[in-house]
Amino acid sequence: MSKPAKSSARIAEKPGGKGAAKSGGKAAGAGKAAASKKPTPKTGSKAPKSKGPDRARTVEIFRRFTALNPEPKGELEHVNAYTLLVAVVLSAQATDAGVNKATRALFKVADTPQKMLTLGEDQVREYVKTIGLFRTKAKNVIALSEKLIAEHGGAVPADRDALTALPGVGRKTANVVLNMAFGQKTMAVDTHVFRVANRLGLSAGKNPEAVEADLMRVVPDDCLLHAHHWLILHGRYTCLARKPRCGNCVIAELCTSGDKVIE
């Protein structure tokens, strides 16, 4: 999204009045006349207001994503809302593939909060020790399981505030769970979504919350349910951070990013 230009409007003052118009007029008269004149702003110099991303282009971007992959799926393996929540908590600063490798065995023995508590923090830590920050994450898994049992009867709540009140659960994690487990139109902004949204001009946000707000506003409503998956997958496999694969990009001619690679 282009930033609005700074206004070039300046206040113009007409030098002098009747006293100055006469040849040889006194300087005091000229000053007095000038002071009586009200400043007159230049016309036609207001900066244009930003209109945001082109609507037709945005619609076409998501039409192509839809045609390419009508039902995109998240890549974290899970068997229910609880295991999805745990998987997303474990995925912070880790790859989905790495998380899946650890949770396949874990979820076979603990796919409910009560089973996770029975397993215990030490054993959970052993299952997830190949994942970064595994000690803190194992502690959070046990703590959120306890809170689910104590406050929600062991069920995962379909409410963002209730989810973010759980240990280890932030807004992005809550949005993923609300979207995938409960079919809500949310926008989980990870590093891929952040990068792709800015490259495509769908947002100029400088933080995940700003990008989320922009995307919720500009993405066509009938595409919102799957939008964050399309953007994640596009960023993960095509619009890479260092070497974007523009030659394989389904929306290449719609992209005006300075990072675009012309082949």
Task: Please tell me what DSSP assigns to residue 247.
Answer: G
Q: How would residue 52 be classed by pLDDT, with cut points 50, 70 and 90? A: low
Q: Find the mean pLDDT for residues 16-31.
A: 42
CA dist., res. 261 & res. 263, Å (int) = 6
How is the chain split into domains, by residue range? 81-182
CA dist., res. 215 & res. 186, Å (int) = 10
Q: CB–CB of 57/157 below 8 Å?
A: no
Q: CB–CB of 160/174 below 8 Å?
A: yes
**pLDDT tens by residue, 218-250:** 999 999 999 999 999 999 999 999 999 999 999
Mean pLDDT of the chain: 86
Q: CB–CB of 252/246 below 8 Å?
A: yes
> Is the pLDDT assigned to residue 82 strictly greater than 60?
yes
Q: CB–CB of 156/202 below 8 Å?
A: no
> What is the third-level CATH fold of 81-182?
Endonuclease III; domain 1 (1.10.340)
> Is the pLDDT assigned to residue 152 strictly greater than 80?
yes
Residues with a catalytic annotation lie at 172, 190
Q: What is the pLDDT of residue 263?
A: 64
> Is the pLDDT assigned to residue 149 strictly greater than 90?
yes
**pLDDT tens by residue, 115-131:** 999 999 999 999 999 99
CA angle 125/73/123 to nearest 5° reads 10
Among 5-9, 106-110, 177-181, name the one with the lowest average pLDDT.
5-9
Task: Please tell me what DSSP assigns to residue 261.
Answer: -
Q: What is the pLDDT of residue 51?
A: 55
